[in-house]
């Protein structure tokens, strides 16, 4: 395995009576693409919330680029180079598409003109340049998914956490977004993605981590994991039942 | 657009030469409430943190300048900034409590109202600052005491306050600070995820806003020559402060000014005419009708629609 960029050890989080994450360990290497999969309610989004600083873990440690980020607020985590997208997309609806992406870029480019230039380049890359002046609230689903990615990308991360950016897209849109994610990764950005679209997982991920009831039940190359009986059971239920 | 603004300023500068004293008074109030609305606009409009306790900053500012002048003989020109600074300290306290403990929406509204009410009740009960009767300032007409024989000087001071606050907002709007505030208003968690230190920027917005509002308190006190706790800290003043930017367009540069030009004359004239007929308080009905109309038909305030009408674009 390559040197760990993100190193999560023994992470646990409980919400009242629900153990959302228990003793989760997870590593993402430099430039690696790792997929986090699992049935609905397995704790994937909670794991993202914990890693990105929106939630505070009950136990465990999160190391990013060799330093502890456990308990840091989200904006600090972002400033260190770890950006996330939201499963439920969160555009700034009344601001223009360019403004939306600028907000991400302003962290590294305090001058609004420089941030606008950087945001423009990201929009160009993701095929949203024609929509730059539109209010974000007017975009289609597919465009809003790409805007979500563009905002995160504008923060110039070294690790991107993508929460179901492919869901609800047509096959062609998915294919296009897979290509764009691959291009981002080719520039050296490591990616941790939550995804239900298995075609995207299979073609993108170098490693897959499977969660069920907040626990890691399997890990390995995509084809290994897909044939793992524990994984099949988690998704389809025990056939003996 | 720019030369239109310059023209408007020139007209406003020349107006006192041709206006009678009543019209001048109404314009002074338009500028003054436009100024307070603009100061509120920073935290309430741009950052979207609905403070309904801004009267507290007017009160702190006005009482500070008046007390320094009455007790220590310090000129209100200095007292004004001391008052602004104290208002900013109060703003920082309210902001810290609200933002650190994540009070949003109605809960932040309640916090700000509560602080203003605490200030009002406290000042009403401390005789050293005039108690419930308040403080009176003797008119000397001495410019060093912020008093002027010629009423037009108040006109120019109020105009300068409004233009200065608008200049501050115009500057903020274009910089990272202003863009971040809009992001916080639109979606705070999304802003935080993109690296925006939402706590810090909300605090800064609150401090700048309360400082400016505090400066307004000195003008208020020395223009009216009297300070009453109910008038300077009360909920009615807080509501007056927020109505204009909301009607004109909260979070827009000219919304508070437009709102003040709409509401202030309406309030003053209806107070004058209905008040003479013995129908006190009927001006509030006029406010209410206008407010309902704006909420129903122009939910983002009047300015965005006016702008689209003339320029055809949106910010």
Asked if A78 lies within 8 A of B194 by C-beta distance, the reply is yes
Please state the rounded mean pLDDT for residues B162-178: 96
Q: Which of B175, B176, B195 sits opposite A75 (nearest CB)?
A: B195
The rounded distance, in Å, linking the Cα atoms of A94 and A138 is 9
pLDDT, residue B36, reads: 98
Q: Which of B179, B189, B197 sits opposite A103 (nearest CB)?
A: B179
Instruction: Chain A: give the shortest CA distance to residue B195, in Å.
Output: 4
pLDDT band at B20 (very low <50, low <70, confident <90, very high): confident
Sheet arrangement for strand A33-37: A82-84, A159-163, A190-194, A33-37, A207-212, A215-220
Residue A241 at interface with chain B, using a CB cutoff of 8 Å: no
Pairing verdict, β A4-15 and A18-29:
antiparallel
Asked if B179 lies within 8 A of A112 by C-beta distance, the reply is yes
pLDDT band at B295 (very low <50, low <70, confident <90, very high): confident
**Which of B48, B173, B183, B193 to probe the A interface (max A CBs under 10 A)?**
B193
Break chain A into its structural domains and give their ranges.
4-92+157-236
| Chain B residues with CB-CB distance to A155 below 8 A | 194-195
Asked if B192 lies within 8 A of A135 by C-beta distance, the reply is no
Closest B-chain CA to A116: B176
The rounded distance, in Å, linking the Cα atoms of B67 and B135 is 9
Higher-confidence position of A199 and B312: A199
Beta-bridge partner residues of A190: A159
Residue B268: burial class (beta carbons within 10 Å; 0-12, 13-18, 19+): middle
Please state the rounded mean pLDDT for residues B135-156: 88
Residue A114: burial class (beta carbons within 10 Å; 0-12, 13-18, 19+): middle
For residue A97, count other CB atoms closer than 10 A to its CB: 29
> At how many degrees (to 10) do helices B2-14 and B152-174 cross?
160
pLDDT, residue B276, reads: 67
The A residues from 63 to 122 touching B (CB cutoff 8 Å) are 73-75, 78-79, 83-84, 86, 90-95, 99, 102-104, 106-107, 110-112, 115
| DSSP result, B211-264 | HHHHHHHHHHHHHHTEE-HHHHHSHHHHHHHHHHHHHH-TTSSSHHHHHHHHHH
Residue ranges of E strands in A112-201? 159-163, 190-194
Instruction: Chain B: give the shortest CA distance to residue A235, in Å.
Output: 31
pLDDT, residue B2, reads: 76
Asked if B176 lies within 8 A of A106 by C-beta distance, the reply is yes
The rounded distance, in Å, linking the Cα atoms of A153 and A85 is 9
B113 pLDDT higher than 70: yes
pLDDT, residue B315, reads: 44
For residue B120, count other CB atoms closer than 10 A to its CB: 23
CATH, range A4-92+157-236: 3.40.50.300
Higher-confidence position of A102 and B106: A102
ipTM of the complex: 0.90
Please state the rounded mean pLDDT for residues B73-88: 96
Angle A118-A119-A122 from CA coordinates, rounded to 5°: 90
The B residues from 177 to 196 touching A (CB cutoff 8 Å) are 179-180, 182-183, 186-187, 189-196
Asked if A75 lies within 8 A of B192 by C-beta distance, the reply is yes
Contact A135, A95 (CB under 8 A): yes
Instruction: Chain B: give the shortest CA distance to residue A138, in Å.
Output: 13
The A residues from 17 to 46 touching B (CB cutoff 8 Å) are none
Instruction: Chain B: give the shortest CA distance to residue A203, in Å.
Output: 28
Q: Which of A90, A106, A112 sits opposite B174 (nearest CB)?
A: A112
pLDDT band at B87 (very low <50, low <70, confident <90, very high): very high
Break chain B into its structural domains and give their ranges.
21-235
Contact B217, B81 (CB under 8 A): no
pLDDT, residue B21, reads: 86
Write the pLDDT tens digit of every residue in B237-292.
999 999 999 999 999 999 999 999 998 988 888 777 776 666 667 777 877 888 88
B80 pLDDT higher than 70: yes
> At how many degrees (to 10) do helices A97-105 and A112-125 cross?
110
The A residues from 178 to 237 touching B (CB cutoff 8 Å) are none
| Chain A residues with CB-CB distance to B174 below 8 A | 112
Please state the rounded mean pLDDT for residues A21-36: 94
């Amino acid at each position: 395995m390559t040197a760990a960029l993100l190193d999560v050890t023994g992470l646990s989080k409980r919400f009242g009576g629900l153990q959302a994450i228990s003793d989760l360990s997870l590593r993402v290497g430099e430039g690696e693409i790792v997929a986090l999969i699992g049935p609905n309610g397995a704790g994937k989004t909670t794991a993202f919330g914990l890693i990105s600083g929106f939630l505070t873990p009950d136990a465990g440690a999160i190391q990013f680029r060799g330093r502890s980020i456990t308990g840091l607020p989200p904006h600090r985590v972002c400033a260190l180079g770890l950006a996330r997208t939201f499963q439920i997309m969160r555009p700034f609806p009344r601001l223009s598409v360019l403004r939306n992406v600028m907000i991400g870029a302003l962290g590294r480019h305090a001058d609004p003109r420089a941030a606008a230039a950087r945001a423009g380049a990201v929009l160009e890359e993701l095929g949203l340049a024609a929509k730059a002046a539109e209010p974000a609230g007017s975009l289609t689903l597919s465009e809003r998914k790409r805007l979500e990615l563009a905002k995160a990308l504008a923060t110039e991360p070294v690790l991107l956490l993508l929460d179901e950016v492919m869901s609800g897209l047509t096959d062609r849109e998915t294919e296009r977004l897979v290509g764009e994610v691959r291009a981002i990764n080719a520039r050296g950005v490591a990616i941790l993605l939550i995804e239900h679209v298995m075609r995207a997982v299979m073609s993108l991920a170098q490693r897959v981590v499977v969660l069920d009831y907040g626990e890691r039940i399997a890990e390995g190359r995509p084809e290994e994991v897909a044939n793992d009986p524990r994984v099949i059971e988690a998704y389809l239920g025990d056939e003996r039942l | 657009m720019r030369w239109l603004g310059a023209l408007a300023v020139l007209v406003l500068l020349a107006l006192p030469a041709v206006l009678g004293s009543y019209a001048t008074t109404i314009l002074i109030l338009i500028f003054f409430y436009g100024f307070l609305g603009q100061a509120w606009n920073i935290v309430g409009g741009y950052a979207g943190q609905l403070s309904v306790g801004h009267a507290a900053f007017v009160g702190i500012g006005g009482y500070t300048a008046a007390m320094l002048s009455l007790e220590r003989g310090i000129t209100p020109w200095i007292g004004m900034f001391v008052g602004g600074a104290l208002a900013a300290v109060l703003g920082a306290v309210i902001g810290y409590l609200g933002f650190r403990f994540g009070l949003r929406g109605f809960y932040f509204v309640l916090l700000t109202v509560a602080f203003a009410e605490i200030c009002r009740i406290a000042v009403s009960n401390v005789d050293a600052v005039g108690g419930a009767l308040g403080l009176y300032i003797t008119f000397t007409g001495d410019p060093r005491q912020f008093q002027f024989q010629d009423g037009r000087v108040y006109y120019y001071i109020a105009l300068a306050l409004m233009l200065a606050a608008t200049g501050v907002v115009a500057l903020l709007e274009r910089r990272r600070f202003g863009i971040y505030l809009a992001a916080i208003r639109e979606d705070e968690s999304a802003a935080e995820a993109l690296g925006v230190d939402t706590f810090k920027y909300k605090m800064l917005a609150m401090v700048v806003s309360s400082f400016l509002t505090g400066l307004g308190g000195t003008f208020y006190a020395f223009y009216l020559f009297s300070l009453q706790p109910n008038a300077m800290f009360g909920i009615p003043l807080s509501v007056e402060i927020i109505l204009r930017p909301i009607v004109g367009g909260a979070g827009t540069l000219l919304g508070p000014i437009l709102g003040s030009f709409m509401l202030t004359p309406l309030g003053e004239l209806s107070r004058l005419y209905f008040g003479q007929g013995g129908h006190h308080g009927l001006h509030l009905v006029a406010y209410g009708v206008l407010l309902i109309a704006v909420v129903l038909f122009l939910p983002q305030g009047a300015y965005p629609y006016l702008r689209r009408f003339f320029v055809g674009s949106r910010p």
